[in-house]
Structure 1
Amino acid sequence: MAPGAPPPTTPPALTAPPIWDLLPAWRAADRAARRASRRVEFAAFMDTYMGTYEAAVAGRKGPLFRRAFAVAAATGGGASVASALAEGGEEEAAAAAEEPEASPAGGGGGGPTSDPVRVLDVGIGVAPNVEYYPPGALVTGVDPNPAMHPRAVANTHRRRPDIHLTLLPTVAAAAAAAAAATGSPFDVAVCTLTLCSVGDPADLVAAAAATLRPGGVFVFVEHVAAQVGDAALAGGVVEAVRRRAAQVLAAPQHRVLADGCRLTQDAEAAVRRGAEWAAVEAERFWLEEAGMPLLSPHVAGMAVKG
């Protein structure tokens, strides 16, 4: 040993950590893997088996989307909200009279314009709503489930190749991308079967409303918790109460299987609470045609930003 050199040291023995120290990481990894697998399965289910549901709500969605895009076009042209609502009602009624049995595809409010309508589809899923958007629409789809994205792209290209689709994971990312690309906010924001899947739906409504220009329209079609007040829709108080009980009992398992979907959410209250709207229109209805009783009743409508 050279003079002044430190004495040699013995390297510490390598020991494996106790197995119980590894359990939390293993459990977390297992939970993440199972959640990812359920998301893939849920995306496949939505793409394969929701056609019956979409057929059942098409009679509501078609008129609602036509009216919403007509109102947005009117406010974008400088009309007041009140005038736009009146004009939108007249335009939707005229469209229904001309084509009572028309397919919803491409029926979202008139032909192409020099300024394509900008749509934010929150919870786009496998893109069922593209059937209702105007020709040439610029659609930004938001969905935190990445398994939905390739299906949304494929369905949009197949059904509506005229639509320009961008997919992002969050509303905040969509707002930032829109501002960076054009400096202009969205004309219409859409939530269908989306507000049920978040912890605070009013926060999501607020985030979507913040992306809309003045006079922009927020469109929603959501399943909601049954209430005693739905007795007239359900065919009696007993059936309304029975439906609510079934929703409460099924809620925990349904939330796991359906990627966080909550059967007892109040979407209409969330919309009204989420922003200072100039006007809100909402209609509750019973939906049994889809063969999914836990998803009835529904609420559909729109809110216009002041």
Structure 2
Amino acid sequence: MLKNITEKNKIFLTILLLFIFTINISFALSVSPNNEYCCYLYLYNKYYLFDLKEKKIIKNVEMPDYYDNVFFISKDKVAFVKGQKIEIMDSLILKPEAQFNFNQTIRDLKVVKENDTESFFLIFTDYSIRYFKYDKNKGIINLITQKDLVKYHDSLIKDNEIFVADNMFISIFRESSFLFFKWLSSKKIKLEDVVYSLDVGKNKYAVLHYVSTSKRKVSFYTLNGMEITTKELEGNYQKLWFDKSEKEVVLFDNSNSIKILSQNGEIRESNIYGGKIDQMQKFNEGFILVVIEDKPNFVVLDSNFNM
């Protein structure tokens, strides 16, 4: 009997260990709308606030609760996400000021614009984009409008337009208004493969396509969706961004280095670090990386990938 229990325990422990090591570690990195700070959530409850100009951590605290993600909702407020709910807090004080339930799991949050009294932001779920207004004085969030998506993967805001990697489409949204009514006007560009990530240049798109779990494809398109060039790559790349020249793209894959792909198909490795790059984001002065060694380390790169 003891032998049987031991064997069962071994099987249980094996399954448990497999489960633990296949879970995706929860983390998020969000840049403030004024491009001065970034906030980062590591291992569900370890919160960091980093000054992008001074290049130093100004807040590092273990939260009393566990969260899925954290995003800036204005220049000095952050939204901690847990499933379908967000808790709004001051990015430094970290005391809950308001809580809201959105009835769908939140995938992403991006600020569109803000002033002294209001912040306008987008919440992306798997199958919708919703546009909200946050009244800073009253602590109230109101839904302005919403649109359906095919399947959300990635997004960016540029020149008052919202570009969404929407399954096999690039969906483009713009705020329209008449009198007191506001809505999101939209158009779609159909591509041949799933759009995993995208960036928008002055006259072209860079698109990371999902091929399989170990393969991706990077394509460059004109703004009306005509393919310029494409390159298939081995690897589990998750996001891409244009560099300053818009002749190359930076690829992020959770390894210990960043990869740079030129439009003519040449790829090179750059900036090898002593740990895994856990997250990476673009901001107006360059890129911010979080490198995990014994603890999270923040690395700021300029637009030419120099520290």
Report TM bin, short chain: under 0.3
Instruction: Specify which structure has the higher proportion of helix.
Output: 1
Instruction: Specify which structure has the higher proportion of strand.
Output: 2
Larger radius of gyration: 1
What TM-score do the two structures reach when normalised by structure 1?
Answer: 0.25
What TM-score do the two structures reach when normalised by structure 2?
Answer: 0.24
Higher relative contact order (CA 8 A, sep 6+): 1
